[in-house]
């Protein structure tokens, strides 16, 4: 993967994939926008210094527990980001009175009921729905992280196509109550009609459940932290280039790019940090229809709504003028040109920002660039709340304005969507014009704040990881799942042992974690991570499968950085041969038929067994001479058809045709046998053939099923063990029908033959069940 730009979202996607041992390269943009972080200095008339290192977007949710914390764990950042929990917030009313509003889930509900008692029932109904969406959202996201099944969230299904205003008006009739949800750092001052309710609530309910925090680090510091983490993984991960062109083929897939020195750079996937409309207009200008679609999904990309900060120096402590809390959020008159977002007591966080007897505060505000506000208008409102402030201000400096975004799609592309269309929107597929190119940035989910930035990076990284995991080669028979890979490792163990003492080895394969416990010849396989392993191995699905399928050597994978480990090097070099991970062979490129019909090989076995079962069943009612010729003819036909496709005839097919031929002669020359009216000989013979085949590890099912998979996988111990199990299953089915008639009576013989269809079902799903049930939780 090649990342171009280096914003937080793309760096997180890069770190997510790099920690999964994927190959990642990054071209950093030297002019990377600081995204609200500013360093500002003020000197008052008495030559006192005031220093600000301020991040406007410094409130983050669920930092110490909850979903964001789990994201940070996956990225290895859970011990790096720190913050101060905010138990409540101060609200400045339109009449300039001050309220304290606690913002935990339950306390916020109590607050709303207290101040809006007429809306009590609606408030309880809203919070009941919010709780349900929160639980579902977290469940789906956690399932994504651990590589289990996940689907579209109820939050997207039920609330995803609403503006915040339209959604809240479904529950509440009091406009003042609706505006309570605006009073936070992400959307205060924006019009609720333009706020995406899905983006907003994915962050907001996490804060209500797990806390809002004042983040110690700035966005720029987080960016530098991500860069340092990536450099630890690969010191050569960053490149210095300037991009001129992107080259794509007829399938809208980028094949390579051209840099300023006319050098070609290839990658499987490209991640770009840029405004998508500007990017595609610059590099893919002929995609006019697609660019128009982007404009509909993200109509505010060219928004003139701005956010800025007034840096204010005081010759008094903020407490002396009545400003004792960390921050104050302002309710605003919709007619005001400038709207105050919050007043931030910077002195409480930056104690060295000024002398002990002075203060520093920051006033965040928003305005429309086409109708700007003035400092006087903002300060006039401020002085009404804190009248003593006017005489203590000794310096004011205006910061650098930037876009203040909300991103609600146009009605035409967000209403009446199918589930698949909603899934595409949640995964940002709806604007992926080029198949292997992802454009990203804070504009994607601006109402979700820092969480939205991190969430987008995780989802993007996961999406690319899934594509790398499942593969995209049309000529591939079958990819190995992580569970199958680990079961192969388990079955490979035994010829070489890790010793008689108990050994624990953790395997981190992509998004999945496993550990094996060995003691002598005994081995058990578990999902999860052992807390104190003797050895931990970090690699990817493709690298581990190539080792198991003998396509590469362990030293090559280690040299290329496709496998890393912690623990004893000596134990590593004992574990590799013990799990049969280093016995490279020339890849077998001999003929292996590929068919559009899934599992065609084993379907030939089903055809043989269905013909045999019909003959056995009808032999209870008809003479053999009426059955065997037709069965023999069908068997010959099935055998020849299989030979024409796969160029092989198995010993079982020879045996089946020999049984039919022998039975035909016996029916012709032995009248008693012809009129036997019993299926016992058929069931007994076939049952014991399957039983003996399984017992001597020459499974019948393998001779057919091997054509349904790549030859390298079909030659593995795991595949042979599974097919041996299936062979024994078929033995039990036929012997079960044989013995069942003596227990239930012959009148139930037709019911017992339904077990054949059970056998067909198990043949399809037994491999999955075998693997799932043999990996312990």
Alpha helices per DSSP H over 564-599: 569-578
Residue 162 has pLDDT above 80, yes or no: yes
Are 3-31+220-300+431-470 and 482-578 in the same CATH fold?
no
- Per-residue pLDDT band at 73 (split at 50, 70, 90): very high
- CA distances for 18 relative to 21, 271, 483, 552, 589, angstroms: 5, 14, 21, 21, 32
What is the per-residue pLDDT for 473? Answer: 47
Q: What is the pLDDT of residues 290-327, one digit of tens each?
A: 899 999 999 999 999 999 999 999 999 999 999 999 99
pLDDT in tens, 109-156: 999 999 999 999 999 999 999 999 999 999 999 998 887 778 899 999
Q: How confident is the model over 711-740, as a mean pLDDT?
A: 91
Superfamily of domain 482-578: SCP2 sterol-binding domain (3.30.1050.10)
Q: Can you give the pLDDT at residue 591?
A: 41
**CA dist., res. 137 & res. 21, Å (int):** 28
> Given a cut of 80, is residue 270 above it in pLDDT?
yes
The pLDDT-based confidence of 452 (bands split at 50, 70, 90) is very high
Q: Please give the distance of CA 507 from its chain centroid, rounded to a whole number.
A: 19
Confidence of residue 582 (pLDDT cuts 50, 70, 90): confident
CATH superfamily, domain at 3-31+220-300+431-470:
FAD/NAD(P)-binding domain (3.50.50.60)
pLDDT for res 711: 82
Residue 217 has pLDDT above 80, yes or no: yes
Q: How confident is the model at residue 474 (pLDDT cuts 50, 70, 90)?
A: very low
Average pLDDT over residues 44-51: 96
Give the closest residue to 592 by CA, choosing from 763, 706, 720, 700. 706
What is the radius of gyration, based on Cα positions, of the chain? 34
Average pLDDT on 516-528 reads 94
Instruction: Using pLDDT thresholds of 50, 70 and 90, give the confidence band for residue 656.
Output: very high
- Which of 587, 525, 517, 522 shows the shortest CA–CA distance to 551? 587
**Between the CA of residue 16 and those of 1, 148, 224, 582, what are the distances in Å?**
12, 17, 16, 28
Which helix (DSSP H) or strand (DSSP E) does residue 507 occupy? Answer: strand 503-509
pLDDT band at 583; cut points 50, 70, 90: low
Q: Where do we find the tokens 């996607």?
A: 13
Return the number of other C-beta atoms located less than 10 Å from residue 144's C-beta. Answer: 18
Residue 396: pLDDT over 60:
yes
Q: Are 684 and 738 in contact (CB under 8 A)?
A: yes
Q: Are strands 327-330 and 305-314 parallel, antiparallel or unpaired?
A: unpaired
Axis crossing angle, helix 449-470 with helix 67-75, rounded to the nearest 10: 50
> How do strand 2-5 and strand 25-28 relate by DSSP bridges?
parallel
Which positions ≥6 away from 696 have C-beta within 8 Å? none
- For the cut 90, the answer to whether the pLDDT of residue 636 exceeds it is yes
**Average pLDDT of span 471-491:** 75
pLDDT band for position 589 (50/70/90)? very low
The yes-or-no verdict on residue 683 having pLDDT over 80 is yes
Strand partners, 393: 314
Is 26 in a helix, a strand, or coil?
A: strand
Q: Closest Cα partner for 433 from 289, 336, 574, 545?
A: 289
Region of residue 550 (left: phi > 0; alpha: psi -120 to 50; beta: else): left
Q: What are phi and psi of 597, to 5 degrees?
A: -80, 120
DSSP string, 706-757: GGGS-HHHHTSHHHHHHHHHHHHHHHHHHHHHHHHHHHH-GGGHHHHTTHHH
Locate the domains of the chain by residue range.
3-31+220-300+431-470, 59-214, 305-403, 482-578, 600-773
Alpha-carbon distance 510 to 332, whole Å?
Answer: 48
**What mean pLDDT do residues 210-215 have?**
96
Closest-CA residue to 127 (of 151, 111, 143, 150):
111
pLDDT at 9: 92
Write down the pLDDT at residue 472.
56
pLDDT surpassing 80 at residue 250: yes
Per-residue confidence (pLDDT) for residue 240, from 0 to 100: 87
How many angstroms separate the CA atoms of 761 and 443, rounded? 49
Buried b (16+ CB within 10 A) or exposed e, 89-126: bbbbeeeeeeeebebbeeebbebbbeebeebeebbeeb
Q: What is the pLDDT averaged over residues 621-629?
A: 92
């Amino acid at each position: 993967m090649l990342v171009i730009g280096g914003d937080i979202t793309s760096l997180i996607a890069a770190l997510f994939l790099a920690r999964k041992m994927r190959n990642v390269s990054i071209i950093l943009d030297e002019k990377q926008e600081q995204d609200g972080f500013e360093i500002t200095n003020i000197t008052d008339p008495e030559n006192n210094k005031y220093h600000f290192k301020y991040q406007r977007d410094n409130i983050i949710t669920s930092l110490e527990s909850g979903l964001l914390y789990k994201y940070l764990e996956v990225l290895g950042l859970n011990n790096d980001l720190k913050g101060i929990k905010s138990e409540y917030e101060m609200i400045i009313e339109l009449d300039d009175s001050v309220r304290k509003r606690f913002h935990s889930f339950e306390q916020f509900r109590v607050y709303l009921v207290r101040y809006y008692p007429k809306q009590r029932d609606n408030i309880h109904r809203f919070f009941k729905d919010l709780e349900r969406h929160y639980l579902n959202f977290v469940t789906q996201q956690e399932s994504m992280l651990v590589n289990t099944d996940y689907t579209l969230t109820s939050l997207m299904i039920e609330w995803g196509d609403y503006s915040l205003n339209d959604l809240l008006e479904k529950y509440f009739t009091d406009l003042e109550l609706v505006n309570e949800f605006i009073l936070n750092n992400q959307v205060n001052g924006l019009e609720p009609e333009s706020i995406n309710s899905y983006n907003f609530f994915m962050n907001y309910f996490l804060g209500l459940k797990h806390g809002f925090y004042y983040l110690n680090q700035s966005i720029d510091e987080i960016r530098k932290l991500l860069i340092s983490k990536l450099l630890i993984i690969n010191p050569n991960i960053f490149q210095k280039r300037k991009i001129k062109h992107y080259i794509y083929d007829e399938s809208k897939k980028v094949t390579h790019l051209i840099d300023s020195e006319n050098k070609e750079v290839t990658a499987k996937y490209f991640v770009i940090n840029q405004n998508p409309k500007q990017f595609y207009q610059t590099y893919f200008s002929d995609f006019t229809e697609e660019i128009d679609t982007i404009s509909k999904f993200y109509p505010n990309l060219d928004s003139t709504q701005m956010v800025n900060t007034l840096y204010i120096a005081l010759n008094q402590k903020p407490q002396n003028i009545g400003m004792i809390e960390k921050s104050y959020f302002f309710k605003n008159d919709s007619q005001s040109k400038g709207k105050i977002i919050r007043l931030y007591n910077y002195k409480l966080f930056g104690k060295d920002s000024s002398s002990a007897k002075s203060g520093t505060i920051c006033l965040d505000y928003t305005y429309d660039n086409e109708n700007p506000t003035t400092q006087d208008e903002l300060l006039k409102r401020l002085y009404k709340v804190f009248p003593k402030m006017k005489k203590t201000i000794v310096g004011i400096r205006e910061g650098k304005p930037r876009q203040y975004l909300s991103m609600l799609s146009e009605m035409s592309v967000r209403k009446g969507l199918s589930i698949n269309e909603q899934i595409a929107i949640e995964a940002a597929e709806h604007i992926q014009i080029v198949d292997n190119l992802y454009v990203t940035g804070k504009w994607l989910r601006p109402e979700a704040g820092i969480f939205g930035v991190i969430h987008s990076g995780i989802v993007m990284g996961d999406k690319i990881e899934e594509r790398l995991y499942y593969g995209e080669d049309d000529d591939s028979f079958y990819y190995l799942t992580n569970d199958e890979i680990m079961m192969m490792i388990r079955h490979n163990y035994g010829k070489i042992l890790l010793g008689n003492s108990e050994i624990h080895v953790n395997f981190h394969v992509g998004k999945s974690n496993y550990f094996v416990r060995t003691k002598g010849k005994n081995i058990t396989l578990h999902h999860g991570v052992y807390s104190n392993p003797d050895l931990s191995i970090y690699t990817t699905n493709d690298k581990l499968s190539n080792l198991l399928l003998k396509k590469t050597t362990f030293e090559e994978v280690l040299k290329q950085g496709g496998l890393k480990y912690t623990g004893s090097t000596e134990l590593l070099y004992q574990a590799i041969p013990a799990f049969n991970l280093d016995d490279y062979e020339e890849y077998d490129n001999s003929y292996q038929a590929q068919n559009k019909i899934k599992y065609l090989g084993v379907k030939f076995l089903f055809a043989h067994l269905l013909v045999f079962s019909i003959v056995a069943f009808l032999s209870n009612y008809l003479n053999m001479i009426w059955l065997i010729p037709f069965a023999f003819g069908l068997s010959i036909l099935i055998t020849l058809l299989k030979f024409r496709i796969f160029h092989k005839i198995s010993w079982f097919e020879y045996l089946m045709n020999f049984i039919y031929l022998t039975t035909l002669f016996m029916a012709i020359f032995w009248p008693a046998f012809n009129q036997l009216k019993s299926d016992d000989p058929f069931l007994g013979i076939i049952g014991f053939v399957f039983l003996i085949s399984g017992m001597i590890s020459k499974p019948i099912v393998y001779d057919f099923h091997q054509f349904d998979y790549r030859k390298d996988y079909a030659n593995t111990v795991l595949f042979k063990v599974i097919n041996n199990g299936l062979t024994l299953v078929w033995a039990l089915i036929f012997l079960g029908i044989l013995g069942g008639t003596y227990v239930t009576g012959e009148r139930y013989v037709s019911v017992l033959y339904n077990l054949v269809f059970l056998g067909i079902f198990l043949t399809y799903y037994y491999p999955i069940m075998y693997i799932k049930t043999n990996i312990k939780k």
